Amino acid sequence: MNPHLLLKDQSDIELPRMPGKVHIVEGDKLRIAQELVRRGVCQWIPLQEVYSVNGVKVLNGLFGVEKPKKLENGAPVFRCIMNLTGSNSTQVQLEGGTDSLLSITSWQSLVIDEGEVIETFQSDMSSAFYLFRLPRVWLKYLSFNIVYDGVDIGLDTGEKMALACSVIPMGWHNSVGIMQEISENLLKRTSISPFNQVVRGKSLPCWFSDILTHSSEEDKFWWHIYLDNFCAGERLEPCSSATRADLCS
């Protein structure tokens, strides 16, 4: 709720040489902007509210990157990318949950006994970085170089209005730490046990790397979260099923 606590001193800020570029066909720019507003990804705010550094409005770029899938007519599907280099240059980066991000090398320590197997389960959140709303006080610090008169966007006033991001976006250097924090807290509000979580800076559970036989009552499943990706696994005896890890997913 206090974005000003992350702002650098203006004397320490070096803005990009060029304002953020919006790579959209001019005739489609307003239509796309209004669609982002309709979907709750963006809002319009008065241009005069946009954060300034030494008199320069900090306006960011916006463009699309083609995804592998296509529409039925063969037209490409684009992922919306917010190029927030301007905003990033004005803010100190939050660490958030990045100190718990798992290194994939942790899996190299996994050992199974003869006859054991491993079953894994995973799922991704869809559009995770545009799913969680930011407090409105952030809008002025995450605005785009898309500016229209109020009358052009259905307002009575002719005041200049800028498009601003109202959700956690990709391209913002604070998104990683915040997204990890959100995902971990959502999982820990369920019945899933933090004891079985594999994270950086915490010793691996003994059964993860121990080749000794454990009692059938002892948990042999684990889970980890990497931003918007959840993964769970379980060491299994022959003819048993991965009930705990499956329930986690």
* Model pLDDT for residues 103-160, shown as the tens digit of each residue: 766 666 777 777 777 777 788 888 888 999 999 999 999 999 999 999 999 888 789 9
Whole-prediction pTM: 0.80
Percent with pLDDT over 70 in the chain:
85
* Model pLDDT for residues 52-75, shown as the tens digit of each residue: 999 999 999 999 999 998 999 999
Give CA torsion, residues 99, 104, 109, 110, to 10 deg. Answer: 110
- d(CA 143, CA 9) in angstroms, rounded, equals 19
- Average model confidence (pLDDT) across the chain: 84
Long-range contacts of 32-37 (CB under 8 A, 24+ apart): 33/146, 33/148, 33/153, 33/163, 34/153, 36/80, 36/163, 37/163
Give me the residue spans of the domains in the chain: 3-93+130-165, 96-127+175-248
Alpha carbon 18 to chain centroid, angstroms: 26
- DSSP string covering 120-159, please? EEEEE-TTGGGTSBPPGGGGGGSEEEEEEEGGGGT-SS--
* Model pLDDT for residues 118-127, shown as the tens digit of each residue: 777 788 888 8
* Model pLDDT for residues 197-215, shown as the tens digit of each residue: 777 777 666 666 565 455 4
